[in-house]
Amino acid sequence: MNGKRLFIAIIMACGIACKQQQPPQVKERSPRQEFPGLFEAVQSAHVFPDSKTFADCTPQAAPATILQYYAKEQGAAGFSLAGFVHNHFIVPTAAAVHYTTDTGQDVIAHIESLWKVLKREPDTTHTWGSLISLPAPYVVPGGRFREVYYWDSYFTMLGLKESGRTDLIESMIKNFAFLIRTYGFIPNGNRTYYLTRSQPPYFALMLQLLISAKEDRKQELLTTYLDALEKEHHFWMKKPADGKTGEHLVILPDSSVLNRYYDRGNWPREEAWTEDINTAKTSRRRPAEQVYQELRTCAESGWDFSSRWLADGKTLGSIHITDIVPVDLNCLLYNLEMTLGDAYRMKGNTAKALQYEAAAAIRREAILRFCWDPKTGFFRDYDFKKGARTPVLHLGGMYPLFFGIARQGQADSVAMVLKRQFLYPGGLVSTPVETGEQWDAPNGWAPLHWMTISGLLTYKNDSLASDIAGRWARQNIRVFKQTGKLLEKYNVKDTSLPGGGGEYPNQDGFGWTNGVLLKILHMQQEGILNIAKNIDTL
């Protein structure tokens, strides 16, 4: 198939109506828009140690009223900005601030008890707050993350399924479908300041997870959420008017069509306002607005931040994620296209099913062509501006195994690279590079462990999958027994030290760690994983 036909097939799969289907006009205003001047003053003065806190505060009166008070009072003698904020806003607390670990529980019982703590009922939010109300119950990650997060939720759902809480899985899927139908995409999280970007597209995987527990409802579920699946695909596949690379769509020199991350905003993230301003100051060769957009776009990837996105491999100010075709993103979109094909077959529309299946096949060929690196024997991102694969190895390269895209020989090579460059006593580092960013060494993360373990099992590398699962589970449980907490990330190189790096402290709770650990422990009990050392004796 030549380049021109590749492009046409992809656009057909997007649906001819894609160009007519635009997301509804977003009416919600973010805190920066609601409180001009006051918002910048509070963040610049560091009234709260964490920039996200003020973005999550609930105003106690209409924004216009609060701004009138601010204009009147700010010039008065003895005016306290912190006092003003506490008088006019409700300051949020951590997701599980009142929860105390029962140290007599084992880790499975602890996780089971946490579902109630991290669960939120349907929202009845204040008119002026940044929280977007959701119609059904959901589970939050924990700590500073007081709202639902898109890609986090899939890994939390793994544990919910093991706990028999398919009711919560289904209600969270209903919430995500509500967001797609309302905004045309799933925002990073249910906050107004997240409405310029999404996150890695896991909605199809969530639906597949529910179907695996409710096989008798497969046709009903696929047809019920077909519109949401297709709208999400349209969001990622929106074609620029000039037919060139634009927003999430990347047109490569041979006319192959792949995707990148892209945030529409070019101002500092409201939840990291001063941090972004400081980063922009370190990037002297680019306008601040360009740096802000790169930082925001990186937040859409979920990997905020990592050496995989840095032009010099070490400095955040050199971030250039919009130049990069991420291998993991395109594998997720391959799965979305395959799911759409399945859904249309269930509906009896063979023509549409064939369109999406053809698009998925073309995407698979492009992933193998642009992202497989035979020299290192690993899957990499592709820098379409340079016309070359990016230099940093990372666990996003495991997604072609998770989705069965890789050839067997490629999967065998990837396993060898994992053992040589990623594997440490506590599990796998996200990248072998140490930069001080949280998505680099020495940190390991639950979602990347799950994608890796599952991918290895897909290619019958059960021994390495079990070894990795055992190291990760033991590190999770070791820290739990020491601290009573399950954390967002872990130091896997030196297991005596905590995970760290990045722009905020390590959080506890923690949704995706709970979900992946519970899944691993149940797979051990079922004999799917053969974890050598008895983790229950730790």
199, 302 Cβ separation under 8 angstroms:
yes
SS3 25: coil
- Non-local (6+) Cβ contacts of 518 within 8 A are 108, 111, 158, 159, 162, 163
Per-residue DSSP letters for 109-121?
HHHHHHHHHHEEP
> Which residues are 257's β-sheet partners?
251
Catalytic residue numbers, as ranges: 304, 488
> Which residues are 89's β-sheet partners?
59
Report the phi/psi class of residue 324: left, alpha or beta, with left for phi > 0 and alpha for psi in -120 to 50: beta
Instruction: Please give the Cα distance from 161 to 375 (Å, whole number).
Output: 40
Long-range contacts of 16-24 (CB under 8 A, 24+ apart): 18/234, 18/237, 18/238, 18/239, 19/238, 19/239, 21/184, 21/231, 21/234, 22/184, 23/183, 23/184, 23/185, 23/235, 24/182, 24/183, 24/184
184, 23 Cβ separation under 8 angstroms:
yes
Instruction: Please give the Cα distance from 411 to 273 (Å, whole number).
Output: 41
Tokens of 3: 């380049």
